[in-house]
Structures are given as C-alpha cells and as structure tokens.
Amino acid sequence: MKITRKVKLILKNYESDNPGTKGNICRILMNGKLGGTGKLLILPVDQGYEHGPARSFAPNPEAYDPHYHYKLAIDAGLSAYAAPLGMIEAGADSFAGQIPTILKLNSSNSWSTSKDQAIHGSVDDALRLGCSAIGFTIYPGSDYQLEMMEELRELAFEAKEVGLAVVVWSYPRGGNLTKKGETAVDVCAYAAHMAALLGAHIIKVKPPSEHVEQEESKKIYSKMNMELLSDRVAHVIQSSFNNKRIVVFSGGAAKDVEGLIEEIKQIRDGGGHGSIIGRNTFQRPREEALILLDRIIKIYQNKD
C-alpha cells in the first residue's frame, strides 16, 4: 500500500502516537474508494442496540444478518465498519483483512433510565477481533459525563498503548442541555473540542444547527457568520485543533436522499473529513444503498 501525500500530512498531526496507532489510522484513510483522499466514509451498525432489531432491520430484513453489513461496507468501498461486540464477532473471521473495523465499546438502549451507556467491549476484544480502532460514546452535559470521560480516558490510553486508533462519538445530551441545544453550533463545537482534548484521533459529531445554546456564548457567536451548514462545519473543524483532528459527521435520522446529499455537500464544503452513515444505508435495499453510498463518495472525491 503506497501512502498518498495527503494522508501523510494528516498522519503528521498525530505526532505523539506510536507507529501502531498511526498505521491503523493510515489503514482507515487508505481503504476503499476514498483511500488516499484524506476523506472517509464509515458504516456504523449499532442501531440494533440503540433502538431494537425490528425498528432497525425490518425495513430491509437481510440486514438482520451480521454478514450483510460487512459485505455492504466492503462492496461499497467504504473506509471502515463500526459495530458492537456481537456484530463484529459474527463476521470477524469471514471478513478478516477485508475492511478496517471499529469495535464500538459502549451503547445505550431505548429502555435506559439514565443518560449513560453500558460498556460491553474491551481493548482486548478489539485486539483479538483484529480491529483497527475502538469507538466510544460520551454524552457531554449529562449527569454521567464525568464518569464517561474517565472511562474513555482509561480505554483510550490502553488502545494507544497497543497501537489502536480511538474514535469518539461526542453526543451532548442530558443535564442542563435543552433538546434543541444538543445540536446547537456552540455545543457541537465544544463537544468536538472536548473529544480532541480527551485524546480522540477521529471525532464523530452531529451536523450543527444555527441555534446557540449557552447564554455566555451568544455574544461571541453573534460576531461569527454561522448561517450555512458549511460555515458551522468549518467552525467545528477549527475547534478540533484547527483541523489537526479528523472529524466525521453523522447522517442523523433517516431522511430523503436529496436532503442527505445536500447536507453532505455542505459538510465537504466546510472541510469536514467525512461521514458516518448507518440507517440511511442499511434500511434501504442493498442496490439502492450502494448507489447512495457511491454518490456520497463522489461528493468527497469532489466529483459532485
């Protein structure tokens, strides 16, 4: 695998990491159709844990099978595939070496009575299953945020020691945050910044809205131009060590294709490093999903 100049530059930003970790970030950045462009597209399948199997897979019942997602990610030429323990275990051997995997180490579920998640995987699991990275969600703002950050600290340290990359889902939620505030531009930028400070290599946030949540932030944001999503994405990227950390954006709730495509163009225009799209793909028939993913890839290739 010959590395491109773009990827080399990105890897330079991870200057404190050991060659093992850099190698795994490189593996993700060089894989699939976006390999070498410095952009990436990840398939996450933790919907079953979060919303239950029927709500996740009934619209496209082939997706009940863990192999389905491995194949989809491979065939679509994605950068990586992310899922919780059981999903990865169920295909780790069949698809070994065919696509970088991210072991999602914690999850919530629809019955949760607290804004917290259960840790259901470990760095040792990631190693035995041949993963390139661990994934971990924090809920900044939640009453459990400090504990979640401390759990991440421990797992991230362990991962870096054994040469894995660390992907952080930074999803503000709970505590004093309003529902609308969860995707506010100040909140998203803050969430991305904290993930970077916590040592994340790749940060996942939601596309930020125009809303400004924190009273103390209103003055400073009133002077900044945040009208377009691309402006707000650029602000999140800037807040992530001035573009020295990779930031990918979720697709959010399933929406119509054109809405999604438009959003992704803005993410690209704002300098976002890519997308992480679950429901919008695996809930459609495979052929439709492949076409959609190809369109997204073209956007990040600047061909659309």
Residues numbered 186 to 245 that lie near its own copies (CB under 8 A) are 186, 189-190, 193-194, 196-200, 214, 216-217, 220-221, 223-224, 235, 238-239, 241-242, 244-245
Instruction: Count the neighbouring beta carbons within 10 Å of the beta carbon of residue 191.
Output: 30
Annotated catalytic residue, options 204, 206, 298, 303: 204
Secondary structure element (H or E) that encloses residue 275, with its range: strand 274-276
The least CB distance from residue 303 to its own copies, in Å, is 30
DSSP labels for 151-163? HHHHHHHHHHHTT
Assess 64 for contact with its own copies (CB under 8 A).
Answer: yes
- Which residues in 154-173 contact its own copies (CB under 8 A)? 157, 172
Q: Where do we find the tokens 């009273």?
A: 215
Structure tokens at 123: 């760095």
Site for its own copies in 284-303 (CB under 8 A): none
Examine residue 114 and tell whether it contacts its own copies (CB under 8 A): yes
Using CB under 8 A as the binding rule, whether residue 132 contacts its own copies is answered as no
Q: Is 149 in the site for its own copies (CB under 8 A)?
A: yes
- Rounded to whole angstroms, the Cα distance separating 41 from 249 reads 10
Q: What is the DSSP secondary-structure string of 100-143?
A: -EEEE-EE--TT-SSS--EE---HHHHHHTT-SEEEEEE-TTST
Minimal distance, residue 302 CB to its own copies, in Å: 25
SS3 32: coil
Q: Where are the alpha helices (DSSP H) in the chain?
A: 5-12, 19-30, 47-51, 53-57, 66-75, 85-89, 123-128, 145-161, 185-197, 218-222, 229-239, 257-269, 279-282, 286-300
278 binds its own copies (CB under 8 A): no
Q: Is 66 in the site for its own copies (CB under 8 A)?
A: yes
67-86: contacts with its own copies (CB under 8 A): 84-86
Q: Tell me, by CB under 8 A, how many residues bind its own copies.
A: 86
Q: Name which of residues 11 to 40 contact its own copies (CB under 8 A).
A: 13-17
Of 8, 9, 175, 180, the one binding its own copies by CB under 8 A = 175
Task: Check if 204 is active-site.
Answer: yes
Binding mask 84-103 for its own copies (x = CB under 8 A): xxxxxxxxxxx---------
Residue at 112: amino acid letter: S
The minimum distance between CB 44 and its own copies, in angstroms, equals: 13
Q: With contact defined as beta carbons under 8 Å apart, do 196 and 168 qualify?
A: no
Q: Does 43 bind its own copies (CB under 8 A)?
A: no
User: How many CB atoms sit inside 10 A of residue 124's CB?
Assistant: 10
Smallest distance from its own copies to CB 238, Å: 5
Residues with catalytic roles: 204
